[in-house]
Structure 1
Amino acid sequence: MLLTSIDPFVQEFERQFNQLTRQTAAGAAMPMDGVRRADDVVLRFDLPGIDPASVEVTVDRGVLTVSARREEEYAENDRLFVRERTMGTFTRRVYLSEHLDADAIEAAYDNGVLAVRIPVLERAKPRKIEIQHSGDGPKAIHR
């Protein structure tokens, strides 16, 4: 029998990373880092040059959506001769695990980085399991 260690958070982030790779190839990426901590998950999105008022974070039926808009205005006499920066609306969707508390999500925007904190539900947090000893009485587990 082969036993493996399964972390649903790592599996979800690997899936999201694979999706990001496909999005990047299509030219529509909003780079994201995901960090799993004991009590929460923190997602950080790079949004350089984005007006904070244009950033919107929503959650609906287990899907976190981050949207932002970058617009650039040119004066009437400006002539654009190079355009490498992407303008327009950027959207990123992240499917949340049922182990996360979607009702307690917090978001903050600072220096072009949007940080979204999602608490881990109490039932999903690691906990210590008491080990019964054979001398503890009739509660010992037998198969």
Structure 2
Amino acid sequence: MIYRAQFPRSLFADLDRLQREMQQAFSSSSPSIRGLGRGGYPAMNIGHTPSSVEIYVFLPGIDPQAIEVQVEKGVLVVAGDKKEDVPQETEKEISHINERFSGRFRRVVTLPEDIDPDQIEARYRDGVLHICIQRRATSQPRQITVQ
């Protein structure tokens, strides 16, 4: 958890915080179903079942038409644009912290080799994009009867 003072006390404290955040951003690798990424917008949950890969992307307040989902060569890309929905600052009103993301976003996930790129569903409901990617039938476990 990152602690931030509501009202910055010193320039050096802010520079130190910025340096830590930059180191964290560059030290984490891109997320894949084999490991978890840290941070980033939008937040994602990635998991799997024996028959599919399940990805949940949390995109509250975004028009589904503004979301782009692509799969190419085993890589899933979720991109889009989040419009700014907060009022602009005025002379009398100054923001000290604005943690709501706005602007262009892009998340990239490396997928396992056994997915079927022709069997992908993407559904957006209540601010959550659910992407279900089926695995190839040949890679799914099956019970073999012993005679």
TM-score w.r.t. length of structure 2: 0.66
Aligned match of 1:112:
127
Q: State the AA in 2 paired with 1:53.
A: Q
Q: Which runs of 5+ in 2 are unaligned?
A: 1-31
Instruction: Give percent identity, aligned residues only.
Output: 34
Larger radius of gyration: 1
- Work out whether 1:65 is the aligned partner of 2:77: yes
Q: What RMSD in Å do the two structures reach over aligned CA positions?
A: 2.2
> In the alignment, which of 82, 85, 92 is matched to residue 100 of structure 2?
85
TM-score w.r.t. length of structure 1: 0.68
Taking a change above 3 Å as real, the CA distance of residues 14 and 111 of structure 1, as seen in their structure-2 partners, is same
| Superposition deviation, residue 29 in structure 1 | 3.0
In 2, Cα distance between the equivalents of 1:74 and 1:96? Answer: 36
Q: State the AA in 2 paired with 1:91.
A: R
Q: Which has the higher strand share?
A: 2
Q: Which runs of 5+ in 1 are unaligned?
A: 1-11, 133-143
Asked whether the equivalents of residues 69 and 78 of structure 2 are also in contact (C-alpha less than 8 Å), the reply is yes
Local SS of the residue matching 1:49: coil
Which 4+ stretches in 1 moved above 4 angstroms?
A: none
| Superposition deviation, residue 13 in structure 1 | 2.3
